[in-house]
Chain A
Amino acid sequence: MLAFYKRLYPFKSIFNWLNHEHVPTKLFTNREFAFTLQGDVYLRYNSFERADELKKQVCALNPTRFEIGPVYSARPRDKKTVRPANFTAQLRELVFDIDMTDYDAIRTCCAGADICRRCWAFIAAAVRVLDHAIRDNFGYKHLLWVYSGRRGIHLWISDREAMELTDEQRRALVGWLMVIQGGKEMHKKVNVRQGSRTLPPSIKSALDPLATVFGDLILEDQNCFESEEGWKALIQLIPDKAVAESLAAKWGTEPMRSSEDKWDDLKKEVRKFDKGTAKRNALQAAVEDIILQYTYPRLDAEVSKHRNHLLKAPFCVHPKTGRVCVPVDPAAIDSFRPERVPTVSLLLRELDEIAVAPGAGEDAGGEEGTGEHHSDWERTSLKPYVALLDRHVAALMQEVRQAKRAAPTYDASW
C-alpha cells in the first residue's frame, strides 16, 4: 500500500478536484479527512494546508483507506480549540451511494458482496437515470461517478450550489429522487402518485428507458419471475384481486413459463378491461410501478442527506478486492466491467516491469511535493482513470475561474 500511495495515488488531481483552484482555499484547508488504519483504528478531523502535506501524512500512516468529509467553518485539526458554535459543516459535495446489496431482493445471479457483469446492469441503469435527472431537473454539471471498488458506485457533485446545500435542502433533493421506499416487509415499494393517477413528470420521463431495461434485464437476463418466489413477489404488486388470483392459479400449474411469458400474461389481463375504466387505469398504473420497482435507482438516502457524512476518497483501494476506486464515465457505463478495474497488485507489478527512470529513486520521501512521481501512474493502467478525473477537474476549474472573473468578490463567502 505504501508504494501505491507514494508512487501512484494522484494527490495533485484529488487536491484540484476538492479545491476548485490551484491556490489552496478553505475548500481544502478546512476539509475533514478521516483515516482508517490497520486494526480498524479510525482517525477523524484531520486537515491539511496543501496537497503535499496530505500526501506526507497518508504515507506516514499508510491507512487502509481514507475518507473525505465537509468543509468546516474552521480547520478540523483545530476542532478542540474553537467554540462548537464556530465549528460547523458548511460546504460539501452532494454525494450519492448506490450499492448492489439493495438489489438483493431482485437479482438472481449473485447475492451479498458478489457482483458480476450481469448484475452491473442494475447499476448501469441507475447511473443513467440519476445522471440524467440531476442534470436535467437540478441543472448540475460537475458530476463525478466513482466505482466503489466492489459492488457499488458513488457520485460526487461539485457545482457551487450543490456544495452549498443545507441538510434540509439535501433531504428535499433526496426525497425528490427516492422512488423505492419501504423495507423488506413492504411489498409495494413505489408510492409516488399523488391524487391523480399520472406519474410525476420527472419519474415519467425515466419510465420509457427503464421499460427497455425491464425487458432486457428483468425478464430476459435475470428472469426474475421464473422462480415461485419471484412470481409470488410479482403477484403481490397487482392491485386487482381477481386478476392476481387467476394469474397465481395459472402460474402455479405451469411452472415452466418464463418471466416474459408471465409478463405477457399480466399485460393480457390488463387489456381485458376497457380503456378509460377505473380498473384498467389502476392496473396500468400498477404495471408502471412494477417496472419502476424493479429498475429505478435504489439510493442509500442517509449518505446524501447530511453535509457531515464521510465518503471514501476516489482512488482508494478496496481492502477485500484490491481494486482501485476509479472514476467512471457515465456515457460508457454499460461497457464498464468491475472485474477489469486495475488492482493495486497489478499496478505495482506494472511499475516493477517498467525500466526505472533516472531520478525516480526508491526512497522518495515526498518532501518535494506531489509532483515527484507524477509520471509514474502515467505508465500504468491507472492512467486513463486519472486522465478522466483531470478532465473533470479542468471543466470545474474553468467554470470557477469564469465565475470569479464575472464577480471578483466570488471568493469572499467561501
Chain B
Amino acid sequence: MQSAVDRKVASSKQSTSQVERHSTLKYPHRLNFYDISPQGDITIEEFETCALDRLRVLAEIESSFARNRPYEELKEVTEKQCSKYLPLASTGAHMVDRDAERRKDHVGHFVLRLAFCRSEELRRRFVKAETTLFRVRYDSDVHSEREAFLNSRDFDWIPVSDEERKQYETELAAASPTSSKETSTRAERYYKVKWTRVPDLVEKRRVFLKGGYAYVPSREQSSIVFQEFQTNLTKALDMTAKALPRLDEDTRIVPILNNLSQGFLAGVSSEWSTAEAGSGDQITAGMVDDLARKHFPMCMRNLHDTLCRDRHLKHFGRLQYGLFLKVLGLSIDEAIAFWRKSFSNIQDDKFNKEYRYNIRHSYGLEGKRANYPAKSCQQILISDQPGSADSHGCPYRHFSGDNLQTALLSMYSGQGLSVADLPEIMATVKAGHYHVACTRVFEITHARQGVKKGEGVGGGESVTHPNQYAAKSRELEKEKDDVDVVMD
C-alpha cells in the first residue's frame, strides 16, 4: 500500500492545480462508479428524462453488440449518441454546467437500475451496456483527470517489487508479451491483484498467475478498473432487485419503469407526431404508392401491399398505417381521399359512416382532439400483438421465417437486396434484434445512395421508428437529387 501513496503523490503534481481550480464542483470527476445514490429531491419529470436519454445511449450500445461492431466503431457511435443525449464535459471545460451534466448522468443511471434489476436477463444486459459506456468514457477521459479519478478510489492493487519482477522476469515477459519496440518487461510496471478481479485477462492468458494473484502490466490496468465497475454494478443490482418489491407500491413510478425496461428490445425513439417541418412538400394521396415502394420500412410496406390487394385493412392495421401516413405529411383531406380510393369495394355511405370519423379522429379533429403520435418500433413490436388475420405489427418479429424471407426479396430486391443478404438478416432476427435487422435492410437498400454497412440511419443509429426510417430514406433521395442537379 506504501507505494499506492507514492503514486498518489507522484501523479498529483500534474493534477493538483486542476483539482483546486474545480474544487467547487459537487462532482469532482467526470467518471463515476455510482457508489452512492443521488442526493436531494428528484422530480418525476427529471426521473423520466434522465432515464430516457441514458437509455437511448445504452440501447444503441446494445444494437452495436447485436451487430458485432468492433470496439472502435462502437466507441464512435456511442460518442455521437452521448454528445446528443448525454453530454459529459471534462472537468477542464469552460462555459458548461458540469455539475448539471454529471447529475443527469448520475440520476439516469440510478433510475435505470430500478428498471433493469427485475430479471436476471435484464440485469446482465444492463451491466454489459453500462460497463461499455463506462469504458468508452474512460478511454476518452483527459489523461490527468483519469489519473485523478483513479487516485480517488482504492483499487487495492499491489505494486510488484523490483525483486519480484526480476524473479519472474521470463514468466512475465512470456505472459504479457510487448511488441518488441515497446517498453521491455524490465521497464514495465506491474500490479498484483486477486485473479478473480481480472477474469477477462485470465481467460485469455494475458497475465502471469501465481498463488491466486494476477500480475497485471500497467498497460492492462484498465481491465482491473472495468472489471471492478462491472462487479460493483452486478452486486448493486442484485441488492436493488431484492429491495424492489417495496418500490412496486409507488404507482407513479412502476409504469415508467415497465416502459423503460423495454428499451433494449427496440431502442428508444423520439416522438414522431407531426411531419418534420423541413421535409417541405405536402404529400398527396396519389404519391403514396410510389413512396411506399421507395421509402417505407417493411411494416408499412406490408400494410400498403395488403391494402392494395385486399382493398381493406383491419382496425389496428388502419391505425398503425394511418398515423404513419399522417406524420409522413398526408393532410386530412388527402388522407380521406387516400382511404376512400383504397377501400374501393365499399359504398360511399358506409365509408362515410364507419371510416371518415375514425380518420378525422386520428387527426385530432374529433373526440378528445388529441394529436396522436405515430407508433414507434417499440410499440409496434410489443403492444397489440397481431392476431392470425391481422396485417399490422413488425414483419421481422411477426412473420414466420420463410414468409419473412420471401417478403424481403419481393419487396426489396429492386433496391439491391439479394439472397446472399438473407442469412445475416435472419440470424439477427433469430437473436431477437428485430429493429437491428430492419436497420441492416435499410443499409442494404440504400447502398446505392452511399449508405455503408454499420451506418444505420445516420451516425450508426438504429431504426427505432418507421417514420424515422422513411424520413431518412427520403432525405437521402433528395440529397442525391441535389447532387445530380449540381452535376448538371
Partners in one complex: yes
* Chain A residues with a Cβ under 8 A of chain B: 85-86, 136-140, 161, 165, 168-169, 171-173, 175-176, 192, 194-196, 198-202, 204
Residues of A within 8 A of B210 (CB): 136-137, 139
Look across to chain A and name the residue whose beta carbon is closest to the beta carbon of B176: A194
Chain B residues within an 8 Å CB radius of A173:
199, 202-203
A194 touches B205 (CB 8 A): yes
Closest to B241 in A: A85
Which A residues lie within 8 Å of B194 (CB)?
161
Min C-beta distance of B260 to chain A, whole Å = 18
- List chain B residues, Cβ under 8 A from A192: 205
User: Chain A residues near B242 (CB, 8 Å)?
Assistant: 85-86
Q: Does the CB pair B199–A168 fall under 8 Å?
A: yes
Alpha-carbon distance A310/B206, docked complex (angstroms): 31
CA distance A137 to B241 in the complex (A): 35
B175 within 8 A of A: yes
- For A202, what are the chain B residues with a Cβ–Cβ distance below 8 Å? 205, 209
Interface string of B168-205 (1 = CB under 8 A from A): 00110011010100000000000000111001101111
Contact in complex: B209, A196 (CB < 8 Å): no
A161 touching B202 in the complex, CB below 8 Å, given contacts A195-B179, A200-B174, A201-B171:
no
A-B interface, 7 closest residue pairs, ranked by CB to CB distance from nearest: A139-B212, A172-B199, A175-B203, A172-B203, A201-B171, A139-B211, A137-B209
Per a CB cutoff under 8 Å, which of A137, A169, A194, A201 touches B199? A169
Report B-chain residues with C-beta under 8 Å of the C-beta of A172: 199-200, 202-203
A176 to B175, CA, bound (A): 12
**What residue of chain A has the Cβ atom nearest to residue B227's Cβ?**
A168
Q: What's the least CB distance linking A108 to chain B, in Å?
A: 32
Residues of A within 8 A of B206 (CB): 194
User: Cβ of B211 and Cβ of A176 under 8 Å apart?
Assistant: no
Cβ B196 vs Cβ A169 within 8 A: yes
- If A169-B199, A176-B203 touch, does A199 touch B174 (CB 8 Å cutoff)? yes
B469 at the interface (CB under 8 A from A): no
Q: How far is the CA of A171 from the CA of B208 in the complex (A)?
A: 17
* A196 and B177 contact, CB distance less than 8 A: yes
Name the distance in Å between A409's Cβ and chain B's nearest Cβ.
18
* B205 pairs with A138, CB closer than 8 A: no
User: In the assembled complex, which residues on chain A have CB atoms less than 8 Å from the CB atom of B175?
Assistant: 200-201
The answer to whether A171 and B199 touch across the interface, beta carbons within 8 angstroms, is: yes
Q: B58: shortest Cβ distance to chain A, in Å?
A: 20
Cα of A265 to Cα of B130 in the assembled complex, Å: 56
Given contacts A85-B241, A137-B210, A196-B177, contact A176 B205 (CB under 8 A): yes
C-alpha gap A199/B170 in the complex (Å): 11
Q: Roughly how many angstroms separate A161 CA and B196 CA in the complex, as a whole number? A: 9
Docked-complex contact A138 and B208, CB < 8 angstroms: no
Which residues does chain A contribute within 8 Å of B170, judged by CB atoms? 201
Taken together as a complex, chains A and B put the C-alpha atoms of A86 and B239 apart, in Å, by: 11
Q: Tell me the minimal C-beta distance from A383 to chain B in angstroms.
A: 35
- Chain A: interface secondary structure? helix
CA distance A291 to B242 in the complex (A): 51
Nearest Cβ in chain A — how far from B87, in angstroms? 32
> A165 — nearest CB in chain B belongs to which residue?
B196
A-B residue pair count with CB separations less than 8 angstroms: 66
Tell me, rounded to whole Å, the shortest Cβ–Cβ distance linking B475 to chain A.
Answer: 44
Contact partners of A138 in chain B: CB under 8 A = 195, 209, 211-212
Q: Specify which chain B residues have a CB less than 8 angstroms from the CB of A165 in the assembled complex.
A: 196
- Binary contact track B335-354/A, C-beta < 8 Å → 1, others 0: 00000000000000000000
Contacts of B211 in A (CB 8 A): 136-139
Given known pairs A138-B195, A172-B203, the reply for A194 and B177 (CB within 8 Å) is yes
Q: Which of A140, A175, A195 contacts B177 (CB 8 A)?
A: A195
A354 to B208, CA, bound (A): 55
- Inter-chain CA distance A279–B377, complex, in Å, is 57
Residues of B137-182 contacting chain A, CB below 8 A: 170-171, 174-175, 177, 179
- Chain B: CB-nearest residue to A175: B203
Q: How far is the CB of B245 from chain A (nearest CB, A)?
A: 8
CB-defined A-B contacts under 8 Å, sample of 16: A137-B195, A137-B210, A137-B211, A161-B194, A172-B200, A173-B203, A175-B203, A176-B205, A176-B209, A195-B177, A195-B179, A196-B174, A200-B174, A200-B175, A201-B170, A201-B171
A90→B209 CA distance, assembly (Å): 25
The reply to whether A201 and B196 contact each other, CB–CB distance below 8 Å, is: no
Among residues of A, the one whose C-beta sits closest to the C-beta of B173 is: A198
CB distance from A366 to the nearest CB of B (A): 38
What 4 additional pairs, Cβ within 8 angstroms, besides A86-B242, A202-B205?
A165-B196, A175-B204, A196-B174, A200-B174
* CB nearest to A137 among chain B residues: B209
**In whole angstroms, what is the CA distance A97 to B118 when docked?**
34
Kindly report which residue of chain A lies nearest to residue B194, judged by CB atoms: A161
Contact B174 A176 (CB under 8 A): no
Collect the chain A residues with CB atoms within 8 Å of residue B208's CB. 201
Chain A residues, Cβ within 8 Å of B199: 168-169, 171-173
CB distance from A311 to the nearest CB of B (A): 22
State whether A201 touches B177 (Cβ < 8 A). Answer: no
CB pair B174 A175 closer than 8 Å: no
> In the bound complex, what is the Cα–Cα distance between A202 and B171 (angstroms)?
8
Chain A neighbourhood of B202, CB < 8 A: 172-173, 175-176
Q: How far is the CB of A371 from chain B (nearest CB, A)?
A: 37
Question: Contacting B174 at CB < 8 Å: which of A137, A161, A168, A201?
Answer: A201
Q: How far is the CB of A235 from chain B (nearest CB, A)?
A: 28
In the docked arrangement, what's the CA distance between A192 and B205, Å? 9
The complex places the Cα of A85 from the Cα of B204 at a distance, in Å, of 32
Q: How far is the CA of A140 from the CA of B210 in the complex (A)?
A: 11
Q: Are A204 and B174 in contact (CB under 8 A)?
A: yes
- Choose among B174, B179, B194, B204 the residue with the greatest number of A CB atoms under 10 Å from its CB: B174
- Chain B residue with minimal CB distance to A170? B199
For B175, the closest partner residue in chain A by CB is: A201
Report the Cα distance A199→B206, complex, angstroms. Answer: 12
Interchain nearest-CB distance for A157 vs B (Å): 12
Chain A residue contacts of B174, Cβ below 8 A: 196, 198-201, 204
A163 to chain B, nearest CB (A): 12
- Chain A residue nearest to B170 (CB atoms) is A201
Q: Which residue of A lies closest to B234 (CB)?
A: A166
Residues of B within 8 A of A200 (CB): 174-175, 205
Distance to closest chain B CB from A145 (angstroms): 20
C-alpha spacing A168/B131, complex, angstroms: 15
Which residues from chain A contact B209 at a C-beta distance below 8 Å?
Answer: 137-138, 176, 202
Of A161, A175, A194, A201, which is within 8 A of B212 by CB? A161
Q: Within the assembled complex, what's the spacing in Å between the Cα atoms of A139 and B196?
A: 12
B420 to chain A, nearest CB (A): 25
Bound form: Cα–Cα A85–B171 in Å: 43
A277 to chain B, nearest CB (A): 18
Across the interface, which residues of A come within 8 angstroms of B195, CB to CB? 137-138
Q: How far is the CA of A196 from the CA of B205 in the complex (A)?
A: 13
Closest-by-CB residue of B relative to A168 is B199
Find the B residue at minimum CB distance from A138: B212
Residues of B within 8 A of A169 (CB): 196, 199
Q: In the complex the two chains form, what is the Cα distance from A19 to B212 in whole Å?
A: 23
How many Å lie between the Cα of A200 and that of B179 in the bound state? 15
Smallest CB gap from B171: residue in A: A201
- How long is the Cα–Cα vector from A176 to B174 in the complex, in angstroms? 15
**Residues of B250-294 whose CB lies within 8 A of A:** none
- Chain B residues with Cβ below 8 Å from A195 are 177, 179
Contacts of A137 in B (CB 8 A): 195, 209-212
Considering the complex, give the chain A residue whose CB is closest to the CB of B197. Answer: A169
CB proximity of A132 to chain B, nearest CB, Å: 13
